[in-house]
Amino acid sequence: MAYIELRNVSKSFGTGKDKTEVLSNINLTIEEGEFVAIVGFTGSGKTTLINLISGLLMPDEGQVLFKGEPVTGPSHERGVIFQNYSLLPWLNVRNNVGMAVKEAFKKMSKKDRNKRVEDYVEMVNLSPAIGKLPKELSGGMRQRVSVTRALSMSPDVILMDEPLSALDALTRGNLQQEILKIWNKDKKTALLITNDVDEGILMADRIIPLKPGPKATLGPEYKINLERPRDKTALNSNDEYKRLRNSIIEYLIQIGEQRSSKKETTYTLPEIKPQIKSTPFRRLSFS
Amino acid sequence: MKDKSINILNFIGLGFFEPAIRLASGEETKKNLVALFKKIVLPILSVGLFLLLWSAGSSHLYNIEKEFRIEKAFNERGEAAARLERSCIDSGSKDCQITTLPSPSQVWVAYKSLLADHASISAKKDAFAEKVAATNVKRAEQGLDAITYTGRPSFVDQIFTSLKTVFAGFLLALFIAVPIGIMLGLSESLRSSVNWLIQILKPVSPVVWLLLVSMIVNTLGKNSDGDSSFTISFISVGLCAMWATLVNTSMGVSSVDKDYINVAKVLQLNIGQKVFKIILPSSFPLIFTGLRITLSVAWMVLIAIELLAQSPGLGSFVWEEFQNGANDSNSKIIVAMFVIGIIGFLLDRIMLTIQKFVTFTEET
C-alpha cells in the first residue's frame, strides 16, 4: 500500500468566468521512506499540490490518501516547511519550536519538552541563537528554525514547499546538506517541491516534473540511482548525474516552450492613423 | 552608560536628546554639533519665534482695545475724560484694565499665581484634615461618614481630576472596544451586520454623546443621591473615544497574515489558542495604534465634555475662568491650554513606550 497517494486530484480557484483549474488529474504515489522531489516552473501549482497533501486545501475532485485514509485536514503526522519560513515574529526561536512541540506532545512534561526543543535546535546548530527573535536571524537561520519546528513534532512525512528558494546559493548548498543529514538519520518519507533541478537530483530518490498550469499535470518520473551520501562537487563529474540533469532540463525546456507557444494570441489592432492637429513644439532640425 | 541612556531615550520617544549626550561624552564633535543644532537649537528658536509673534500680537491687540476705549471716552464725555482714561490705563490700575489676548509674561505670572494658589489650598486642606481628624474618628465609631474638605479645588487638583476621568474613560473604551473588535474581526457576518451602526455612530459629536449618556444615567441614577457628573463625563469620553480602537482591532484581527493562520492549522491549535497565541499577538501593533488614537481623542473630548457637564476638571476650570472675567482670567485660560497640550503629548509618549514594550516589529 502506498504511503501517500493522490488519485485523479483536481483543484480550481475562483468561480464562474474567473475559475481557473490549477491542478488537473494528478496521480502520485509515494512509498514509505522515499524522498520525492517535484520540479516545476513558478506558478505551476506546486504550492497548491503541497497544500492538498498537508490538508490545508481540499481537492475539488479525486482523493488524497495518507496511509490509506483520506486526508481531512492538517495533522501533526505531516510536517510542513513553508517557503517563507512562517515563523511567528513575536516569539523567539525557543518558543517558536516549543509551541509545535507542546502541541505534538501534549502529555510530555515541561522539562522533557524543553529538552526536546533544545536537542532539535542543537541539531541545526542554532543553540547560540535560541533566545533570539526571528528578525534577528538571517534568512538561512530562519529556515533552519522552520525545519526544526517541523521536525520536532516527529512527523511521519516531511512536506517541503520550496524551502530553500529564497536563500542565496551558498546558504542553500549548506542547508541542502543539513536537511539530507537529518533525513538520513531516520529516513522519513519526504516530499520536496523545488524549482532547482540540481537540488532535486542531489536530494531525492525520484524527480517528477510538474507541467505548468493552468491544468497542471505531472510529467514522467525520473529515478535517481545515485549512491548516497551524495557529494555535490563529486556529482558534477558523474556521468549518470549529467545524463539525468540534461534529460530533465531538456524536458522542462520543452514543456516550457509548449506553454509559451500556447499563450500566443493575436490581437487585432483597430485601424487608426495618427492625426497631426498642430505642432506644439518646434521641430529640431539637424541640418 | 552612555549607550544605555541613549537607548532609553529613543525608546520613550525623546530621541532628540541623543546628540547632546553624545556631545557631552566628546564623541564626533562636529557631526553631533550639527545634529544638536537641528534637533534642539532649531526647535528652541522656533519656540522663541512663536513667543515673539505672540507677544507682538497681544500688544497690538492691547493697543487696539486701548485706543478704542479712549476714543469712546472722548466721544461720550469729552477731552478731559479721555485724558483721565488714558492715564488710568497706563497706570495699570485694576479699575480700567484691558482684557484681551494676554502676553506671554502675563501668562507666566498667572501660572505662578496658580501654583501659589495650589500651595495655599493644600495648606488649608492639611489644616482642615488635622482639625477634623479627632471628630472623624468619633464619627467612624458612630458609623457616620467622615467630614471631608469641600472647599474650592486648586488648578493642580483639577488636573488630577481630569486625568482620573480620562483614564476611567480610556479603560471603559478599552474594555468595550477590544473584545467587541476581536469578535467583529473573527466573524465576517458579525462585522457586516454592525457595519452600518458603527459607521453612523462613529462621527457623532462628543456633545451629543454627553447628552445621550446623561439621559440614560439620570434615569438610572434616580434613586441614588450623589454627583453623577463624573459618571456621565467618563462614560461619554469612553464612548467618544472607543471607535478608533474598535475599528483598528477588528481590522487587525481580520487581516492576520495567512501564513500565521496556516501555521495554526498545521499545528492544529484549537480556537482559543489560535486567538490568544496567533491572532492577538499578530494584531497587537494595530490594536495599540488604535488605543493611542483613543487616548488622545479621549483627552481632547474630555475638556469639551467637562466644560459642558460641569463636572470638575480642567474643562470646567477653563469655563469658570471664562465666566469669571477677572483680570487674569484670560491668562489662566492660556495656562490651562498649555497644560492640556503638554499632558496630551506626555500621554501619547507613554502609550508609545508601552506599545514598543508589548508589540513586535516585523523586520529591522
**Which residue would you say has higher pLDDT here, B150 or A237?**
A237
B285 and B223 part of one domain? yes
| Helix or strand run (H / E) with residue B29 | helix B29-36
All three cell numbers of B66, joined, read: 486701548
Predicted confidence band at A282 (pLDDT cuts at 50, 70, 90)?
low
In a domain, B363, yes or no: no
Predicted confidence band at B322 (pLDDT cuts at 50, 70, 90)?
confident
On whether any CB of chain A is under 8 Å from the CB of B91, the answer is no
In a domain, B276, yes or no: yes
Quote the percentage of chain B above a pLDDT of 70: 97
B148 and B159 part of one domain? no
Residue of A nearest to B257 (CA): A86
**Which residue would you say has higher pLDDT here, B330 or B14?**
B330
Q: Tell me the angle at which helices B155-186 and B280-309 cross, rounded to the nearest 10 degrees.
A: 140
CA distance A196 to A165: 8
Residue of A79, A84, A100 lying closest to B259 (CB–CB): A84
B50 and B123 part of one domain? no
Q: How distant is the Cα of B356 from the closest Cα of chain A, in angstroms?
A: 12
Subunit contact A88:B361, Cβ cutoff 8 A: no
Q: Tell me the angle at which helices B79-91 and B42-77 cross, rounded to the nearest 10 degrees.
A: 150
Specify the DSSP class assigned to residue B100: S
pLDDT of residue A287: 44
Contacts of B278 in chain A (CB under 8 A): 88
B76 and B158 part of one domain? no
Residue of A74, A79, A89 lying closest to B362 (CB–CB): A89
Confidence check: pLDDT of B226 > 70: no
Subunit contact A74:B266, Cβ cutoff 8 A: yes
In a domain, B287, yes or no: yes
Over residues B104-125, the mean pLDDT reads 89
Q: Is residue B42 classed exposed, middle or buried when 0-12, 13-18 and 19+ CB atoms within 10 A define those classes?
A: exposed
Subunit contact B277:A99, Cβ cutoff 8 A: yes
CA distance A224 to A210: 17
Subunit contact A99:B267, Cβ cutoff 8 A: yes
pLDDT of residue A98: 92
Query: Contact B129/B149 with Cβ under 8 angstroms?
Result: yes
Domains of chain A: 4-256 (3.40.50.300)
Q: How distant is the Cα of B298 from the closest Cα of chain A, in angstroms?
A: 29
In a domain, B364, yes or no: no
Confidence check: pLDDT of A278 > 70: no
CA distance B12 to B2: 16
B189 and B318 part of one domain? yes
B307 and B162 part of one domain? yes
- In the three-class reduction of DSSP (H, G, I as helix; E, B as strand; rest coil), residue A25 is classed as strand
Residue of A55, A89, A103 lying closest to B360 (CB–CB): A89
B295 and B349 part of one domain? yes
Confidence check: pLDDT of B364 > 50: no
In a domain, B88, yes or no: yes
Predicted confidence band at A251 (pLDDT cuts at 50, 70, 90)?
confident
B47 and B113 part of one domain? no
Cα–Cα–Cα angle for B80, B82, B87, rounded to 5 degrees: 100
Contacts of A91 in chain B (CB under 8 A): 281
Query: Contact B317/B269 with Cβ under 8 angstroms?
Result: no
B90 and B112 part of one domain? no
In a domain, B302, yes or no: yes
On whether any CB of chain A is under 8 Å from the CB of B54, the answer is no
Predicted confidence band at A241 (pLDDT cuts at 50, 70, 90)?
confident
Quote the percentage of chain B above a pLDDT of 90: 30
Classify the phi-psi angles of A285: left when phi > 0, otherwise alpha if psi is within -120 to 50, otherwise beta: beta
pLDDT of residue B12: 72
Q: Which of A168-182, B4-18, B204-218 has the lowest mean pLDDT?
A: B4-18
Q: How distant is the Cα of B189 from the closest Cα of chain A, in angstroms?
A: 21
Specify the DSSP class assigned to residue A55: T
CA distance B112 to B248: 42
Residue of B nearest to A149 (CA): B267
**From chain A, which residues contact B within 8 Å (Cβ)?**
54-56, 73-76, 79-80, 82, 84, 86, 88-91, 99-100, 103-104, 133, 135-136, 153
Which of A75, A103, A133, A158 is the best residue to mutate to test the B interface, defined by the most B CB atoms within 10 Å of its own CB? A103
Residue of B260, B267, B364 lying closest to A100 (CB–CB): B267
pLDDT digits (tens, 9 = 90+) for B73-89: 888 888 888 888 888 88
Subunit contact B282:A136, Cβ cutoff 8 A: no
CA distance B351 to A170: 44
Q: Is residue A77 classed exposed, middle or buried when 0-12, 13-18 and 19+ CB atoms within 10 A define those classes?
A: middle
Residue B239 CA from chain centroid, whole number = 16
Q: How distant is the Cα of A204 from the closest Cα of chain B, in angstroms?
A: 24
Query: Contact A208/A223 with Cβ under 8 angstroms?
Result: no
Classify the phi-psi angles of A59: left when phi > 0, otherwise alpha if psi is within -120 to 50, otherwise beta: beta
Domain count for chain B, please give it. Answer: 3
All three cell numbers of A285, joined, read: 532640425
In a domain, B297, yes or no: yes
B138 and B60 part of one domain? no
Domain housing B27: 2-94
Predicted confidence band at B346 (pLDDT cuts at 50, 70, 90)?
very high
Place of cell 509545535: A100
B255 and B175 part of one domain? yes
The answer to ipTM > 0.90 is: no
Q: What is the CATH number of the domain that holds B258?
A: 1.10.3720.10
Contacts of A88 in chain B (CB under 8 A): 260, 263, 278, 281-282
B116 and B169 part of one domain? no
Contacts of B358 in chain A (CB under 8 A): none
The sign of the dihedral angle between the CA atoms of A243, A244, A250, A253 is negative
In a domain, B50, yes or no: yes
Subunit contact A88:B260, Cβ cutoff 8 A: yes
- Helices within B310-358 (DSSP H only): 314-324, 329-358
pLDDT of residue A261: 66
| Helix or strand run (H / E) with residue B106 | helix B104-142
Q: Which of A156-165, B135-144, B247-256 has the lowest mean pLDDT?
A: B135-144
For residue A153, give the nearest of A88, A67, A77, A51 by alpha carbon: A77
